[in-house]
Amino acid sequence: MTFVERAGAKYLAPMFMVSGFGMSVAVGVVRRLPHVRLRWRTLLDQMHVSGIRSLHVVLFVNFFIGMILALQLGYELSRYGQQEAVGFAVAISMVREMAPVMTAVVLAASVASAMAAELGTMKVQEEITALEVMSIDVISYLIFPRVVALTLVAPILTLLANVVGIIGGGIIAETQLNLDYGGYLTNALNALSDPGFLGLPKSLYSGIIKSTIFGFTIAVVGCASGLQATRGASGVGNSTRAAVRNSIILIIVLNFFLGKLIYT
């Protein structure tokens, strides 16, 4: 076996297998969309688990992201006498990029890891095999509610993240950059007034589209990683690590392509 063949067998083959399995899970979930009526109770439970339990972390992180943006942009803009534009810059940065991405990263770290650990433990303890043996549709029973819940929750969390991020930036603008809070807010809202699809601000809905896709992706990766867990506790650990790592990589890559798609 040549070096290239060995490298391919070691790295490429598993990567394609994992990607293929993730895709099949994603397709399985989409095909079961009519199961919403059957699974609404579990769906609400999962929305609570992935949304409410992550809310404080999402708000905390994005509040600080807004403050960091305001501080750094404010210092740089003030060198050119343009510090009034900090509201514009913070709002655009938060709504288009930072809130969707940082919210998705928080969800990858908290929700995707939890999904992978939970399903991975079920897998190694043969609970998932038991469901298969009982002819229970594992995708419909376990995966569908988790994926749909996170797909719905991610944009809602992102909207809230936008709000706290802009508020955080406003606090820095007033206390550190000596700007008027009302002026900052007006400036920020003006930045978001560019009309787009259905009269919604383009920056806002681009962030919402991104976060919806991120939510779906994170949940699929988390669930698929859990379903592929093998070999006891260490296998669950590996699947959890893979879930977080692969989710974050996909968030970053998708963010670039979605940004390119929406703004060109």
Options 127-135, 191-199, 201-209, 210-218: segment touching other proteins (CB under 8 A)? 127-135
| Of the candidate residues 36, 127, 175, 196, the single one contacting other proteins (CB under 8 A) | 127
Q: DSSP label at 201?
A: B
Task: Please provide the distance, in angstroms rounded to a whole number, between the alpha carbons at the two ends of the chain.
Answer: 46
Least Å from the CB of residue 114 to other proteins: 13
Options 79-87, 88-96, 118-126, 159-167: segment touching other proteins (CB under 8 A)? 118-126
Binding residues for other proteins, rule CB under 8 A, total 14
Nearer to other proteins, 27 or 249 (CB): 27
Least Å from the CB of residue 41 to other proteins: 12
Which SS3 state, helix, strand or coil, does residue 262 take? helix
For position 230 contacting other proteins by CB under 8 A, the verdict is no
| Contacts of other proteins in 131-150 (CB under 8 A) | 131-137, 141
Q: Name every residue whose Cβ is closer than 8 Å to that of residue 7 and which is 6 or more positions away in sequence.
A: none
Nearer to other proteins, 76 or 126 (CB): 126
For position 122 contacting other proteins by CB under 8 A, the verdict is yes
Residue from 186, 203, 185 nearest 194 by CA: 203
Q: Name every residue whose Cβ is closer than 8 Å to that of residue 73 and which is 6 or more positions away in sequence.
A: 86, 89, 90, 93
Take residue 47 and report the two structure tokens written for it: 């929305």
Nearer to other proteins, 72 or 125 (CB): 125
Alpha-carbon span 30 to 40, nearest angstrom: 16
Alpha-carbon span 109 to 241, nearest angstrom: 9
Q: Is 196 left (phi over 0), alpha (psi -120 to 50) or beta?
A: beta
For position 119 contacting other proteins by CB under 8 A, the verdict is no
For position 180 contacting other proteins by CB under 8 A, the verdict is no
Alpha-carbon span 249 to 160, nearest angstrom: 24
Nearer to other proteins, 135 or 264 (CB): 135
| Contacts of other proteins in 23-42 (CB under 8 A) | none
List residues near other proteins by CB under 8 A.
Answer: 122, 125-127, 129-137, 141
